[in-house]
Structure 1
Amino acid sequence: MAVEIQPGPVDSAAEDELLRGNALCDAKRFEEAVPHYDRAIELGLRDEIVWNNRGVALDSLGRHTDALESYREALKVNGAYEVAWYNMGNAFSYTSDYEKAVECYDRALELNPSYRIALYDKGLALARLGRARKAIECYDRLVELDAEDKVAWLRKALLLEELERNDEAVAAYRKAVAIDPDHEEGWNGLGNALYSLERYEEALESYDKVLALNPRSEEAWNNKGFTFFMLGIHDEALRCYDRALAINPRYKHAWYNKGYTYHGMDKLEDGIVCYKKALELDKDDEVLWNNLGNALYNLGRYEESLPYFFAAIEVNPDYEIAWNNIGNALDKMGRHSESIPYHDKSLEVKPDFDYALYAKGYALSKLGKHEDGLELVDQSLELNPNYDHAWYAKADVLFHLDHLEEARDAVNNSLILNAGFDEAWVLRAHICEKLGNADEAEYCYREALRCHDFVLQTDPTNLEAAEAKLDLLLEFERHADALAFLESVPALAAEPDVVATRAELLLRVGRADEAVFAAHDAVSADPESGHAWRAKGRALAAVGRTREAIEALRTCLDLHEDRDAHVDLTNALLALGRTGEALASAEFAIELGAPVRALRAQILLTAKRYGEAIAAAREALRAGEPADVAWFTLSRAKARMGDAVGALAAVDAAIGADRKREEYWCEKGRLLFDQGDARRALRFLDEALSLNAEYRQAWYYKGRALEALARPDEARRCLERANGRPAGDSPK
């Protein structure tokens, strides 16, 4: 604001009032100054100066509308009075009417082209209007008027940064700090511009200049920290944030960046603590809410992440990233139908949002709409061909469409972009397996493991990486390796859910008695864990404690609806001959999506409902369930109904689907024996025994076949093996 001094005497009393008003303005006692200007006007002093100065006092009190009236009065007296035009521009700026402000500054500059303060403030108003290029012209004019004007160089640099003309911004900042080497704001701005150009080492030098001038500059410590983060020097980054927070514990940006750095280091729990600190300081930052949700999401805590994404869109309903992330979290929980509207909302806000196109496409594929999903994923890749997850999604969709060569090409692109993408290596392993390339599949599996091993070598305490490696070993059914790895990481083995996993692994490697004790520990560690109770049920069933197993599995289902537990319960009920309950349990599991139609057929077979068993086995085949089991059950049901030819054809199909199951070979031998063809039966029974020399049923039917062929000594030895006695032993 410009206060003008009265050039000459008018009425002495009026002049005294003006001078008193000016003195009070100079002392920033604006409330007291206004009555003196009013008194001067009442006494007849009505020139442009008194009206202008009165306006300045009113502006300083926030009474901008009254101030504008005073400036208008000044300009009525003297329309060529550039000071009033300038001050009127300021009043309009205070009320955010920048268009009118610029008009006023232009009038002042028409009257005085060298009016530097008007050029400064015109530049600011133009910048507020988003007209950065026009604003730069103001600062160019200022440095023409005075090449040593460091403020003009600084303002010009800031606007050049805004226009992403960072090389020019660097040059302007260098001018500012050359004029004044102690210009703290100039050095900080120079660091920021160099950072934007990814010239991180030079940026660090600039921030160090700031800190040499002012060691308590929280902003410089924060900026230096994030620059270290970009260089991958995380420990130094954290040290810098801590210095910033020691100066100002309420510095939100340092808390945010510290959290972001932990996030980048996969120390997500630490990141969450920092994000929450930042949110205590600013609950209206949608990015903070979103990133806190992301950290929980990356920990696999998808349900927990949702409220934070919803909080982000409450702050900013047009925040497309948070809308999409809600969909992503629902997708991770398998709730694909629910996810689609959130991906749609994200695309409504930003139709070309490649991440949302990919996510919606992948969700549609998971719902079985593979062609529709592929179209959206392709659109995403047209917008952003460098997104590894989109290539992965395309590969997965193509894999489900059985376009295996195209799927392999797509997953290769994903791995070219990110060689450490463990899930992509796993998908490539599955593709290679289906293409019949077992060696390549094994290589991919090992590469996936190597991704986790690399993280664990860098940070052996990283539980997320340890859990991911364990999951991978489980997926590839490397049960012994999984158990050994789990037991080598005590912190992982102590996790309640992993205690239950250990029990299941012990069962898988044939250590059922130990599995019972481990499952008991799992239930003790977390009595509300459905996983723990399921593990206990499985272990008890394996050691023959079937009734206790049923109780444990029912407890599991009371706590948590678990498809696999329904299947386990079905098997336990079937083992006790409780076919009615077993059938109900199997049918419920099928409703939940369990592929157990063949098991349902076995229950019907046990219940002597042979016709229904045949229909159920055929349904299992149509559903794509393991063909060997369905054919074997179909064979046994047909045999019970007296259809020997149909039974033989079905058991041949079972053997064709899996030649390594001794019971299938034995069943064929039995069927041939029952048809009176003992000689052919022997060949198939011997095949069963070559797969399992302890298979008593095969020894029994071999003995019977040998009896039929009048080979009594051999028959006796076989029947003794069938009864569990070494050949030649006599009963005791």
Structure 2
Amino acid sequence: MTKTDRPDGEDSGHTGPELFEHANEEYDAGNYHRALELFDQAVKKGISNEVMYNNRGAALDAIGRGHEAVDSYLKSVSIAGRYELAWHNMANSLFSQEMYADAVGAYAKAAALNKERVENLSGLARAYLKVGKTGRAVAVIRKLDRFTDKDAAVLLMQCDLYIDAEELVLAEQCARKYLEKNPDDVEGFAHLGNVEHEMGVYGKAVDSYEKALQLTPDDKELWNNLGYTCFLAGFFDKAIGCFDKAILLDPLYKHAWYNKGYAYHGADMLERAVECYDHAVAIDHNDPVLWNNLGNALYNLGRYRDSIPKYVEALIVDPDYDIAWNNIGNALEKMDEYAEAIPYHDRSLEISPDFDYALFAKGVCKAETGDLEEGYNLVLESLDLNPSYDEAWGARAVLAERMGRLDEALLAVEESLAVNSEFDEGWTKRGEILLTMGNMEAAEASFQMALTCLESSHADTAGGLASVVRRGEVLIRLGRFEDALVNIETVVLAGRTNSRMILKDLELRRFMAKYELPKALVEIIRKIAEPGIIAECAEFMVDAGNVLEAERLLSVVRGIPTQSSKLTKAQARIMLAKGETDSALMLLNTSDGRSSDADLLVINAGAHEAGGDFSKAADLYSSALGMDPSNYAAAMGLARLMIRSKKADECISAADIAIGIDSREWEPHKLKAEAYELLNAPGMARFELAQAHSLLAGTGLRPEDIIGG
């Protein structure tokens, strides 16, 4: 084609052939919109042949109008059915539009018309793989053998196709044949590394990638691939170094930032993972998987509220991203917003009805919002789809236990352990169920197994911190309180938990009557900002006899508007400890959350108890309980006085009332254990003490309260 002036419009005076020639020139120059205009003008000037419509289709493809491009190719082959290039281009367009079954037919026609175009066969193989016809794909890939003598690069094409077909031995053979022909070729070693990576022989893959990098040390993709392989092989530091090399070569290389974040994520170094993911999304805002993983890293850090906007970003890019919908629900669930979470799990299930994790998560939320039976059935449905999910079996056990089906709960938790024998929470739950069933020896053996699973836990990552907490909880169940305190206080002193963890520490110390606190722990307590938790810490200080420290803690929130009845109660207890009973009662009477008459009686009873007038205190606790049968403090006060007076039966009766009011508290079980000792019933005493240990272990922090880093 010769260079001519560019026509300005339909009435420029150019002939159809001239317009066609100019259109081709514009296409070759990358001016696809202008080329399309000229092709259309040429048609109006009477040019109507297979080449015209093929080239017009190519212009439409280039500007993203694939459906119209296919129509143009069809017009081309309707004019000349044996025009192979149009069939080939149509097949490529159909494939790019994910119309794989139609692409198969177009590639097959093109291949039949032109047996020498390698791309017809490779395209047909790729299309067969997309429609799940692997056997036919492999047969087509084998047909490429006849081209390899003339063009060794076809071996690399075959290698890639065999990898996609999961025929890894054949893929390796192709890569090695290529290297026999080209012993010092980068692409040969790179492809061999890819095959070895897919085969899971990561050490060999590392060797192949390193040989490729010796030949081309500035290839960012090779550094990235080597890094990911090193990560999977367990060479974490080397992996990070490789990703850094790739990023140094190209600071805007998204894949290296993403994989570096993924490596940190896998190593539980979540803060660093977030930093890397942030870099990656700054480079590419349109990657839904990347946004989702950024959300997951924040979620794993316990930053549930912060994770949700990242999942939303993923959904802006891909509104049908079922995993992101489900993850929003999971984040809400972790914040105890179960009802709010359900619609997100529902949306996930609308997109993917057999999404087992969404069914499991919705089941948990349904159970927590009062529909225990439906929640249980949803968990069962998730297990039908994925019987290898240990946490779903664990959830089934929890729900069955709550429904009173202990035998079923035990079977479910044992299924979870069959799936994963290192599932420490499964062993713990098994122990709790057996304890409820009265089999204390088997329960203790289960707790010992949970402890074995947690032996290697270290407090150097977010996941490690959570494991140390769980180890502390198991130690409590086993009655090893000093060891438990070491574990739990290690996490508290690391400063990487929320304030609820401190309450767990203090509750264990209260159980042990170990009130003297390390200075470092006192300093952490002084930094707490939440009024309710400050109040509970102040009450602990009162119990410890450190009234000055209790007053200091409350001074932090004095003057801050709050409706916290906990703060009022803590202040009243300080007054009682100072002998200011009338002032305490007046405070409770005049506070915004005015105490009930029963509560006032309990406070008064506490003052008499502290003063050693147990008889008067018992009368007041009894009166408070008669006035308000749901007053837990009155029932506990009465039980406490009865054990002090060696009245075992009366203590058990009062403690049972307390348990009926709030079955989550450990203290009434401990008092019952002391009462049964007085009654010379060691078996019952041991059972009640084990119940107390189990409930104590479950107070305060949840694993998700770890802040991590």
Q: TM-score, normalised by structure 1?
A: 0.66
1:220 counterpart = 2:252: no
Amino acid at match of 1:613: L
| Distance in 1, Cα, partners of 2:129 & 2:496 | 58
Amino acid at match of 1:188: A
Count how many residue pairs are aligned between Structure 1 and Structure 2: 625
Amino acid at match of 1:301: R
Q: Deviations over 1:24-69 (max 9, x none)?
A: 98997798xx9xx99xx9xxxx999998999899899979999999
> Following TM superposition, by how much is the alpha carbon of 1:381 offset from its aligned partner in structure 2, in angstroms?
1.5
Q: Deviations over 1:379-410 (max 9, x none)?
A: 21121111111111112112222333332332
- Quick one: which of 612, 623, 628 aligns to 1:616? 628
Q: Deviations over 1:183-202 (max 9, x none)?
A: 54454344334433333344
> Following TM superposition, by how much is the alpha carbon of 1:574 offset from its aligned partner in structure 2, in angstroms?
8.1
| Distance in 2, Cα, partners of 1:392 & 1:215 | 50
Residue 319 of structure 1: aligned partner: 321
1:383 counterpart = 2:388: no
Q: 1:95 to 1:452 in 2, by over 3 A?
A: closer
> Following TM superposition, by how much is the alpha carbon of 1:445 offset from its aligned partner in structure 2, in angstroms?
3.6
Contact 1:309 1:323 in 2 (8 A): yes
Amino acid at match of 1:216: D
| Distance in 2, Cα, partners of 1:456 & 1:446 | 18
Residue 545 of structure 2: aligned partner: 543
| Distance in 2, Cα, partners of 1:369 & 1:61 | 54
Contact 1:365 1:373 in 2 (8 A): yes
Residue 284 of structure 2: aligned partner: 282
- Quick one: which of 207, 230, 233 aligns to 1:231? 233
Summarize the alignment of residues 4-83 of structure 1 with structure 2, pairs less than 5 Å apart. Answer: none
Contact 2:84 2:110 in 1 (8 A): yes
Identity across matched positions, percent: 31
Residue 404 of structure 2: aligned partner: 402
- Quick one: which of 255, 261, 265 aligns to 1:259? 261
Q: Deviations over 1:333-363 (max 9, x none)?
A: 2222222222222212211111111222222
Summarize the alignment of residues 444-463 of structure 1 with structure 2, pairs less than 5 Å apart. Answer: 444-456=446-458, 463=465
1:344 counterpart = 2:346: yes
Q: Deviations over 1:48-105 (max 9, x none)?
A: 99989998998999799999999989998x9877678768888999999999988887
| Distance in 1, Cα, partners of 2:97 & 2:367 | 53
> Following TM superposition, by how much is the alpha carbon of 1:454 offset from its aligned partner in structure 2, in angstroms?
0.2
Q: 1:241 to 1:362 in 2, by over 3 A?
A: same
- Quick one: which of 205, 213, 221 aligns to 1:211? 213
Q: 1:74 to 1:353 in 2, by over 3 A?
A: closer
Aligned-partner SS, 2:217: coil
Aligned-partner SS, 1:385: coil
Contact 2:330 2:361 in 1 (8 A): yes
Q: 1:615 to 1:208 in 2, by over 3 A?
A: same
| Distance in 1, Cα, partners of 2:479 & 2:601 | 22
> Following TM superposition, by how much is the alpha carbon of 1:316 offset from its aligned partner in structure 2, in angstroms?
2.0
Residue 713 of structure 1: aligned partner: none
Aligned-partner SS, 2:194: helix
Contact 2:91 2:102 in 1 (8 A): yes
Q: 5+ residue gaps in structure 1?
A: 2-16, 591-595, 637-646, 666-682, 692-732
Residue 438 of structure 1: aligned partner: 440
Q: Deviations over 1:256-301 (max 9, x none)?
A: 2222222222222222222222222222222222222222322333
- Quick one: which of 308, 312, 328 aligns to 1:306? 308
Q: 1:519 to 1:279 in 2, by over 3 A?
A: same
Q: 1:99 to 1:546 in 2, by over 3 A?
A: closer
Q: 1:186 to 1:611 in 2, by over 3 A?
A: same
Amino acid at match of 2:206: L
- Quick one: which of 362, 365, 378 aligns to 2:364? 362
Q: Deviations over 1:689-715 (max 9, x none)?
A: xx9xxxxxxxxxxxxxxxxxxxxxxxx
Q: Deviations over 1:447-504 (max 9, x none)?
A: 4444444032998995554455456667878654344446667961687846776666
| Distance in 1, Cα, partners of 2:535 & 2:450 | 31
| Distance in 2, Cα, partners of 1:431 & 1:164 | 45
| Distance in 2, Cα, partners of 1:493 & 1:97 | 55
> Which is bigger in relative contact order (C-alpha 8 A, separation at least 6)?
2
- With 348-357 and 559-568 compared, the bigger mean Cα shift is at 559-568
> Following TM superposition, by how much is the alpha carbon of 1:539 offset from its aligned partner in structure 2, in angstroms?
0.6
- Quick one: which of 161, 164, 175 aligns to 2:163? 161
Q: 1:117 to 1:93 in 2, by over 3 A?
A: same
What is the root-mean-square deviation in Å for CA atoms of aligned residues? Answer: 5.9
Residue 246 of structure 2: aligned partner: 244
Q: TM-score, normalised by structure 2?
A: 0.67
Q: Deviations over 1:195-242 (max 9, x none)?
A: 333333443343334334323332233223323333333233333323
| Distance in 1, Cα, partners of 2:58 & 2:217 | 38
- With 288-297 and 158-167 compared, the bigger mean Cα shift is at 158-167
Contact 1:503 1:518 in 2 (8 A): no
Largest Rg, 1 or 2: 1
| Distance in 2, Cα, partners of 1:54 & 1:380 | 52
| Distance in 2, Cα, partners of 1:118 & 1:158 | 16
Contact 2:128 2:134 in 1 (8 A): yes
> Following TM superposition, by how much is the alpha carbon of 1:136 offset from its aligned partner in structure 2, in angstroms?
6.0
| Distance in 2, Cα, partners of 1:185 & 1:202 | 16
- With 289-298 and 187-196 compared, the bigger mean Cα shift is at 187-196
Residue 653 of structure 1: aligned partner: 653
Q: 5+ residue gaps in structure 2?
A: 2-16, 607-615, 658-667, 686-709
Residue 191 of structure 1: aligned partner: 193
| Distance in 2, Cα, partners of 1:127 & 1:266 | 36
Q: 1:501 to 1:537 in 2, by over 3 A?
A: same
